[in-house]
Copies of this chain bind each other. A is one copy, B any other.
Amino acid sequence: MITTRQKEIIAAAGKLLTHSGLSGLTIKNLAAEMKFTEGAIYRHFKSKEEIILTMLEYLASNMDERLSGLAKVSDPEQGLIELFENQLNFFSQHPHFVVAVFSDGLMESNEKINSAILRIVSVKMKHLFPVIFSGQQKGKFTTAITTEETIHLIIGAFRLQMFRWRALGFREDIKVSGMKTIQSVLKIIKA
């Protein structure tokens, strides 16, 4: 499906994106990052669009696998914590993918890329929904707002946290500050 080289290239692409924005993601820069020439990039991808799409699809399925692999816990609060610990662990180890996953900046007039971005969001929601829902049913989380509204709050807070992490140059420990955010959300949504 996806070769080792392709993985290396999309990792380099994420790195460029995160550090220099979309305008920094050029084939020239990508080749330099990979330490070979531009032509070689086209041995592995037929276009720049394909690189971005492959990156987004990889991140979506990677996230889906990771979160599917989480052991089922009966306590919804613990389930929520483990879900975000897993997410934060991934971004802590792969900070260069932050932009690709969260950036509105990749949203251009390109239909394919836009729907690939929305797929990532929906994967996240897919795993978040049952945790929140069961928490509400068990009387652990508030039912003052709907499941969707709760998810909206959580994802919004998480995204903003990642935005700030990047804006501040990845200086803070995202595992610590990210969990603080989740903890404060938890305090608020607990029934």
Contact = CB atoms under 8 A, between A and B. Distances in A.
Given A105-B105, A155-B160, 18 more contacts: A20-B108, A22-B105, A22-B108, A24-B108, A24-B109, A102-B104, A103-B105, A107-B167, A118-B167, A142-B188, A145-B187, A152-B157, A152-B161, A153-B156, A153-B185, A156-B156, A156-B160, A157-B157
Pairs A-B, 10 closest by C-beta atoms:
A105-B105, A21-B108, A156-B156, A156-B160, A156-B157, A149-B184, A20-B109, A145-B184, A144-B187, A103-B104
A145 B180 CA distance: 11
Given A99-B104, A114-B167, A159-B160, A21 B109 contact: yes
A66 interface: no
Given A144-B188, A167-B118, A181-B152, A105 B160 contact: no
Number of copies: 2
7 contacts: A22-B108, A118-B167, A146-B184, A152-B160, A152-B181, A153-B188, A188-B189
Nearest to A148: B184
Interface string A106-140: 11110000100110000000000000000000000
